[in-house]
Structure 1
């Protein structure tokens, strides 16, 4: 990689080294081959008198270190296997406190060096510190006489990520001029892979080579998977050798690993060269079986598809289709369902039923009804004596009740249908999803707002039949539903809540996790309404931990969304932003009905962030779903949030949305759905002009004001900078936040360097910060870009 005099060293790496030199006597460079350890260390030691040794030499550690040297450089540390030679090096380090030792190895810190690390004598510099940042990579190109455009520089950094040897190869490819291109990228990759083949892969023995190639397709893998796909019972021992001698294999946790990304791409290249098509299919088939046995159907389907085993793909999809949406992984597997040929689906009642439900959850009701009709046609061709008759009729009955577009009109009839279907011994009905993993029964798998109008009557008459017929799914259901109904109407439900909480242990022991989430979720909402949001946060966090410990991660997305809503009330905007950034569902081309609670939470955070246009776009896409499927409660929230967005955008039609929400709340005598928005909605209630029921409005305003007192900053936008940024300053800020230098910003915007510096100075002043890194943090917090 060039002689030390011309070596480009990242400033932060130099700073780390010099600080380590000052405070530690031993510095270990621990990084894969090609990271430039030797070249970099030699350059950093320029000016010192160095005794250079290699652990690969037979005469390693001769008896005398030259008296005039102040540093010992030891290369190839990973091959130092003999205990006596290791101990000789350790004794030298202990006895010669007048020397600095710079050690270069491909593996992690070996156990025999850890005592020095624990004593604070040893500093480890890992691969990421050796990788070039954008500025250092550009200096390397310029040092070699290569000029690239800012756009090409961005592409180079994206493709090579500052990997030193790859940058060295690229420099030679670009030496003759010409722009960076896909051909140059592929040529550089090929040369890099040839280097890996010689420097790493061929140095392993045959069993280890086979293991590496077998594991190449997997982004991460467990030791058990390694044994299964390779067929080698020594897989664990071999992985240990890789970890000892290289840093190409990274440790994720107990017996779980992943390859260094660049090395994994190389291994895939080796796989396609070393294994025949049949051998590759066999490898994927074994991996698919592993994932199927470990209840990972999405990974199993991917591997079965790569193995060309379409029959097993279909069998897995049929198995999943037999489950209701609260348990079945319809969203994860939807691409596999949509890829099935129609004629294959039409042969299977389970697939037709599953496709009717799946397309409905994707808000494609026309397709859902088409698959429902296909199942009806299939049923019409059966005789009552046919073995499939009961099963197919049961699936039709299930869809009649469970399909979202069937809604909840004529609730008594719907409940009666459930009982008849569940007790009809002539039918085999799939299990129902009562809550769809949501923290609610009234607004779970079905919208039961109509039930709320006659909640006392229905509770008295239907409680026992519901719990009898639904079995485990019915334990606590009626008590939770009546409490939820009273709570939404702002009625006193303290005694009922005590009764419900007294049954929580029974629900946990004899019922289902779905009802448990609904009960704990209701308790948390009651606590929030009482100003006890922190207690609610603890309750939901505790439930989340319990569900994860018991392997029920299916609840996590909605639990995380509920935690986000509580954080919003507590004013913890950083936690809300983190949820939006890391866990919120995207506003994708295909919305997913079961994520509506998360979509509404996303809209809340966007409103807080001032992204009202984006929130309105999302809410607009959810409106047809609520109208088509009779989702009363969701419709109230959509209209309320839309009114907030429109009012903040200066659109006078916010009054129409808010008055519409008020009309619906009054019809059902709901208080909490609107009152919970507290300070955000309170000013609008007095300005919207709604006068349909003065007494009801007074009650609602009082409840809303109580929430405003408890959470005065809920959904309130944060104060923007005292002085707004100009258009030019906003452009500069965007580029600054992409880590571009002043010179690069000037090149892109076509302005001189002093002008860029002036803009940067004014940006820092307006944001009240003193460093560029602080400006990026402030811009992110204030959502300026």
Structure 2
């Protein structure tokens, strides 16, 4: 296949700015990494004009002399990124000022990096027009045209793959054309290009720094220092910035990230130039950094890369000391499950960890098998190993998720006696599992809610004692939540929640504060003040960012629940981008986020997807004895079935009502307000308690009045656009004109205009820009 080297497409935005600068003779500073097309644009633009071009890499400032003969001249100074010495920079600074002051010179400066600090004062004083690298990127239309000119015809799927590869980057498109559209070969050629034309021009120290830090996807200065062993990381990063625009994140929030082309090519370079003996310590040091910062899955990944089995084993044992809320059991399951059984049986921590992990994975028989193995270990060992095993057995008796709360009162009393009388110690527990609930947290305590006051009086103090820091404020918060669910006096609920919050803040755990905040947030929502609920939760989120990042996922899920009441669709769509993938392996620790996602699907009208999640949740609730989640899932499933037109929707709602009546839970139903009130009035439903029915329907009516569009089908970003309308909108976002869109889709321009008008109307937009922005907010494009 022949490559047409004569075909050139001017990047629109860069060309527009250059033309504007030429008309008014404003100096220009353009930058971009090698291969972005800077020099090519200048050559094409000045093809029929006289101009002088100098490379700062080859010519000293003293050699550049432009006569003052009054004639207008065009001067191009390229490769400014090579000007690194202090005296050399000073000389070039003086030269640039001299040229600009002559009055007859249109000056173009070209570099690989954004405007450097040593030129900032000139840049501001002489009002340069900047043409950044992004302006040189080609649109989808331009890329496809370029490839067509080189006899590469693609279907839409192939186009998508190529656009993802090139990202509009000119050299990538050119290499793709040269290689006949072969992505693999083009990728290799791109790496070779960077190797020959970029990296070899750097000093050895900078080359090695890039190679070493490329082993991670992104890094902080501290991580880079730990990987490389260098103390001058900040200096090296500053030099790297001056050498070119190689970062997608250049220190924003302390994070540095290479462009994928740079990262991948540097990884290849590292493997080519260094042997494993030199590479493995890099991964080991990165693993240590992640381990020190409690980024355990990342640490394991690094240790795995360098085959550091000793460190992997150490990390797995350390994680087994933690409870499921603070540990990383699910994320590390691959490593646990690959351990040889004989290795596990040597350590009581690993045995207990396996029992807990298998319970979390809903492998009940396996969990109990490992529990029995731990009992055997306790019988056959002595001294500290025996004490450790017994401590872990007691921990599992209380904490194994699948066992529910059967006999838990007796187990807790026994634990209290052992701690008080025999000096026994227990590993740290999490009652909440990072959820904003005691009743529906680490375990389901709905059955205790039936006797809340009695249990609080009889075992409350003992439970708080056994749980240590996690017990601070527990009784007050448990009562507050129980009263909240039963629809009891709001002021009493608030008083107990605030009391529990203060207790937790006085030497307790932030997880309990999350429960208190969750209760107060629900009180605000129930009273029609979702905006204040959002404010409360955002304030707590700021604290969690500093003290407990592990809570953020569930805080954000709860925020999304609030957004559903507020109908803040862009925020809901933003949350959906981070929501767990329900079709991947089911994680029991994601239960709050799964149920939140099911509600979003209901609002989107994606009923099959909602049902898929809810059926999984019902299975989980049954296996793991989760009454509250079972009630909630039946309720949401009844809404989904009703909206699907299924006549048997009442089966699910009846189960929900029967269980809610048994426990006296009003709010679990009434929270759904307008989404369920019509269903509740069906004469096919049987209520055993008329007073309970009236309270539920009354509160539902109140919630419906407060939030009339809650879960209203089709009111989110799921605006229905036809296939052609979506294609047109995407092409508009890529900068294509109506004429070009019509040609591309082989339809009339009037048809394109019609689709545009309909799209603007549906998005409530007055212009193309508004429509594109709104579509992006709604995750349509």
Query: Could you tell me how far 1:529 is from its partner in structure 2?
Result: 1.0
Look up the match of 1:349: 348
Look up the match of 1:78: 81
After superposition, the Cα gap between the structure-2 partners of 1:285 and 1:689, relative to the gap in structure 1 and judged at 3 Å, is closer
Query: Could you tell me how far 1:203 is from its partner in structure 2?
Result: 1.6
Structure 2 gaps, min length 5 = none
Query: Could you tell me how far 1:7 is from its partner in structure 2?
Result: 2.2
CA distance in 2, matches of 1:774, 1:681: 35
**Mapping 1:413-428, distance limit 5 Å:** 413-420=410-417, 422-423=419-420, 425=422, 427-428=424-425
**Mapping 1:158-177, distance limit 5 Å:** 158-174=164-180
CA distance in 1, matches of 2:94, 2:704: 72
Query: Could you tell me how far 1:700 is from its partner in structure 2?
Result: 1.2
After superposition, the Cα gap between the structure-2 partners of 1:647 and 1:233, relative to the gap in structure 1 and judged at 3 Å, is same
**Mapping 1:518-667, distance limit 5 Å:** 518-550=515-547, 552-581=548-577, 583-667=578-662
1:694 to 690, 696, 711: 690
Calculate the TM-score normalised by the size of structure 1: 0.90
CA RMSD after TM alignment? 3.1
Query: Could you tell me how far 1:350 is from its partner in structure 2?
Result: 1.3
Look up the match of 1:54: 55
After superposition, the Cα gap between the structure-2 partners of 1:85 and 1:407, relative to the gap in structure 1 and judged at 3 Å, is same
Look up the match of 1:431: 428
Query: Could you tell me how far 1:523 is from its partner in structure 2?
Result: 0.9
CA distance in 1, matches of 2:606, 2:418: 47
Look up the match of 1:476: 473
2:146 to 140, 146, 167: 140
Task: Provide the secondary structure at the position in 2 that maps to 1:40.
Answer: helix
Query: Could you tell me how far 1:29 is from its partner in structure 2?
Result: 1.6
After superposition, the Cα gap between the structure-2 partners of 1:633 and 1:760, relative to the gap in structure 1 and judged at 3 Å, is farther
Query: Could you tell me how far 1:506 is from its partner in structure 2?
Result: 3.8
CA distance in 2, matches of 1:505, 1:35: 58
CA distance in 2, matches of 1:358, 1:303: 22
Contact 1:72/1:101 (CA < 8 Å) preserved in 2?
Answer: yes
Task: Provide the secondary structure at the position in 2 that maps to 1:221.
Answer: coil
**Mapping 1:212-251, distance limit 5 Å:** 212-249=210-247, 250-251=249-250
CA distance in 2, matches of 1:223, 1:720: 41
Contact 2:112/2:245 (CA < 8 Å) preserved in 1?
Answer: yes
Look up the match of 1:377: 376
Deviates more, 1:360-369 or 1:623-632: 360-369
Contact 1:29/1:103 (CA < 8 Å) preserved in 2?
Answer: yes
CA distance in 2, matches of 1:421, 1:661: 40
After superposition, the Cα gap between the structure-2 partners of 1:211 and 1:643, relative to the gap in structure 1 and judged at 3 Å, is same
Query: Could you tell me how far 1:407 is from its partner in structure 2?
Result: 1.0
**Mapping 1:38-53, distance limit 5 Å:** 38-46=39-47, 48-53=49-54
2:114 to 108, 113, 118: 108
Deviates more, 1:615-624 or 1:71-80: 71-80
Structure 1 gaps, min length 5 = 175-179
* C-alpha distance after superposition, 1:685-712 (max 9, x if no partner): 1015323222221111111111111111
Contact 1:4/1:43 (CA < 8 Å) preserved in 2?
Answer: no
Contact 2:212/2:228 (CA < 8 Å) preserved in 1?
Answer: yes
Contact 2:11/2:138 (CA < 8 Å) preserved in 1?
Answer: yes
Query: Could you tell me how far 1:588 is from its partner in structure 2?
Result: 3.2
CA distance in 2, matches of 1:702, 1:151: 53
Query: Could you tell me how far 1:274 is from its partner in structure 2?
Result: 0.7
* C-alpha distance after superposition, 1:81-128 (max 9, x if no partner): 413323224423652456432211012211122235545812332222
After superposition, the Cα gap between the structure-2 partners of 1:746 and 1:395, relative to the gap in structure 1 and judged at 3 Å, is farther
CA distance in 1, matches of 2:325, 2:156: 49
Deviates more, 1:646-655 or 1:505-514: 505-514
Query: Could you tell me how far 1:644 is from its partner in structure 2?
Result: 0.7
Look up the match of 1:15: 16
Deviates more, 1:512-521 or 1:755-764: 755-764
Contact 1:52/1:74 (CA < 8 Å) preserved in 2?
Answer: yes
Contact 2:604/2:717 (CA < 8 Å) preserved in 1?
Answer: no
Are 1:204 and 2:199 counterparts?
Answer: no
CA distance in 1, matches of 2:719, 2:505: 56
Look up the match of 1:177: none
